[in-house]
Amino acid sequence: MNEHDILDHERLPPGHRSGFVAVIGRPNVGKSTLMNAYLGEKVAIVSPKPQTTRLRQLGILTLPEAQIIFVDTPGIHDPRHKLGEFMVGVAIEALADADLILFVVDLAVPPTGEDRQIAALLERQASGVPVLLAMNKLDIVPVERLTENVAAFQELCPDADWTTFSATTGQGRDDLLQRIIGALPEGPRYYPPDQLSDMNLRDIVAEVVREKALLHLHEEVPHSVAVLVSEFKERSENLTYIEATIFVERESQKGILIGSRGSMLRSIGKDARAEIEDLLHTKVYLELWVKVLKNWRKDEDALRRLGYKLPK
């Protein structure tokens, strides 16, 4: 950032608003899709499979009148292993420092048990923090169910402001953004205006590889996948070398991930490399390895080694 940018960074308009927005909801309701849409770039990975997001990710949207720091969280669900407990803990932890809680729900279906669980959690742990109920998937909700589903979700959070929108088509998204800005306190910019996330490049690359694995694989295998980048080197101005290991829990999953004569792993690598090249603006030599780390989702030591920082 040059001197002119720094001065502009300090010259904020009267009434400038800023704050942290905890984006919570059950898995696969469109939280990451919404955040990516607002940022205009892909910061959080997205797939049609539930529980895609595992880590807390910041998405920083800087506008002339406001800076919104979205805290994208894993979907809140009933955990079945240590990884699940970690993911739910990350989501709950995000509530503590939030200036606004954005509770995203799927309007295409009535409230589920998990939606009710989250509403109860907010009542217990988010006292005093404003809640904005964001009803997503307006574009696919059956017309005859719209009024009934809206009313049912309103009952979950009777004191919350609410609106309907579609993260994918953009319908109602601008109105939602204005409601978010209006709910934030006046304050400074916490991050430089050109910064979009707090994740480092290694973490982003690992998430890109994991996303491509999620999109290519089926059944239980995707949820058993973790990615660790072991080497990240700029070989020249125009070439970056990246070595990453994809961990699975069983030998049978390793075979599925590699595929016949390496076909599946090549497909994952090809798609990941194309996206990483767009991110880095260089050619990328991506070398992927597959290793078995037995039952890593249930092993606290393994989880910590893979970057999931569990409380001690």
CATH for 3-183 is 3.40.50.300
Cα separation of 267 and 276, whole Å?
Answer: 14
Cα separation of 129 and 63, whole Å?
Answer: 23
Residue 49 contacts by C-beta under 8 Å, 6 or more apart in sequence?
28, 214, 222, 223
Residue 220 contacts by C-beta under 8 Å, 6 or more apart in sequence?
none
Task: Please state the length of the chain.
Answer: 312
Tens of pLDDT, residues 32-62: 889 889 988 656 544 344 444 445 578 899 9
Whether CATH 3.30.300.20 fits 201-305: yes
Is residue 24 a contact partner of residue 35, using CB atoms and an 8 Å limit? no
Computed over every residue of the chain, the mean pLDDT equals: 82
Tens of pLDDT, residues 245-301: 999 888 988 999 999 999 999 999 999 999 889 878 889 999 999 999 888 878 777
Instruction: Compute the half-sphere exposure of residue 71: CA atoms within 13 Å on the CB side of its CA.
Output: 20
Cα separation of 217 and 220, whole Å?
Answer: 9
Tens of pLDDT, residues 159-209: 999 999 999 999 999 999 999 999 999 999 998 888 887 777 788 888 889
Give, as one character, the DSSP assignment of residue 229: E
Q: How big, in percent rounded to 5, are the helix, strand and coil portions of the chain?
A: 40, 25, 35
Of the candidates 199, 214, 229, which has an alpha carbon nearest to the alpha carbon of residue 289?
229
Predicted structure pTM score: 0.64
Cα separation of 77 and 21, whole Å?
Answer: 20
For residue 285, give the amino acid letter: Y
Cα separation of 214 and 177, whole Å?
Answer: 30
Residues of the chain with CATH 3.40.50.300: 3-183
Structure tokens at 71: 């805290």
Cα separation of 63 and 178, whole Å?
Answer: 11
For residue 114, give the amino acid letter: E
Is residue 139 a contact partner of residue 169, using CB atoms and an 8 Å limit? yes
Tens of pLDDT, residues 199-241: 777 888 888 898 888 888 876 566 778 888 888 888 888 899 9
In the three-class reduction of DSSP (H, G, I as helix; E, B as strand; rest coil), residue 169 is classed as coil
Cα separation of 164 and 143, whole Å?
Answer: 13
5 vs 116 pLDDT, higher one:
116
Residue 17 φ/ψ, nearest 5 degrees:
-110, 150
In the three-class reduction of DSSP (H, G, I as helix; E, B as strand; rest coil), residue 57 is classed as strand
